[in-house]
Structure 1
Amino acid sequence: MKIALMMENSQAAKNAMVASELNLVAGDLGHEVFNVGMTDENDHHITYIHLGIMASILLNSKAVDFVVTGCGTGQGALMATNLHPGVVCGYCLEPSDAFLFNQINNGNAISLAFAKGFGWAGELNVRYIFEKAFTGKRGEGYPIERAEPQARNAAILNDVKVAVCKDVVESLKAIDQELVKQAVGSTQFQECFFAHCQVPEIAEYVRTLID
């Protein structure tokens, strides 16, 4: 699995720690992690709004399989990512949230709070969230007797999102293009995207923004 870590300006100072914990867990499981920003407070500037655009491009182009994101409360990043087609993001404050999202919703992104409630042993909480997010079979349901209706409802929700969301390139073009240009502007994002993008139409669109 290819996993993208993306953090915005307010919590960029924690990126090195979060990236270390993610690599510790995901790397040991054989996953590949891409730290696409911000890597520190002086890096290419992005907000939680940009995170949603970045997640949409990376997931819909199949450049990555999963996105780990967040902001101060995790709420802004959650809303910004779930706005976009093809992105199903869960809110994880503790390891049980990651486990239940994995089992019930089986989405492709999680949003963490990197400031609210982030105190003593915060790095351990992050590590245990990642352990629950990336271990075990996905979508099996919990409790197990609810597995069938949970899987059915998750599929229905995905169908509803497809129905109400525009084509990914069309939706990106409908956004203020300066926002999208800023979202794709970092070197680390572009390296990850262009090396692994599997949808030529999305690659072509992104190139129009950076050329």
Structure 2
Amino acid sequence: MQLEAKDVGFRYGDGPWLFQRVNVMLEPGEIVGITGPSGRGKTTFCRILAGFESPVEGTVHVNGAPLPKSGYHPVQMVLQHPEKATNPRWKMHKVLNEGYQPDKELLDLLGIEQEWLTRWPHELSGGELQRFCVARALGPNTRFLIADEMTTMLDANTQAQIWHAIMSIAKQREMGILVVTHESKLMQRLCHRVIDFNEFD
């Protein structure tokens, strides 16, 4: 199963193009990094891959077929700010079970404690919240994970634990990962290849 963006371009209305002619292929089990300055449209491109935005031009396919309009999406995205991705009116067990019900093995791997399940989002730290967002994204039907500055705001220990869990699961499932980050050391450690978003203008 492949995730392919072909000649993808995006702009708001009649404004300038954020990017054009983006061609990216992500294979199962492959880890690809995306780098480039802020404001170049990296997050918008990720949102297109995850089905949150539609491209102005070009196409996105998973295994040769258009992205699904309903059901569990095979491309899941984890954002930099977990508080923006969680409903403040839901306790964490409901947040976690929004798409599927993760097993205890995954929760343990991510360091999610059982007592956190009955808390509200505001009662958790950013690192604790992000663990839930990652767990929610790692459903059994996830084939590709997009990590958009996912651990930038977290301490080194939390970063290491989250990435260890993701890499372990990705290896087991042959899951492709797209990593967006400004951290060059993280790119070097994780990625098989890196795409410079400055190329797409």
TM-score calculated relative to the size of structure 1: 0.31
| Structure with higher helix content | 1
Between the two structures, name the one with larger relative contact order (CA 8 Å, sep ≥ 6).
2
| Structure with higher strand content | 2
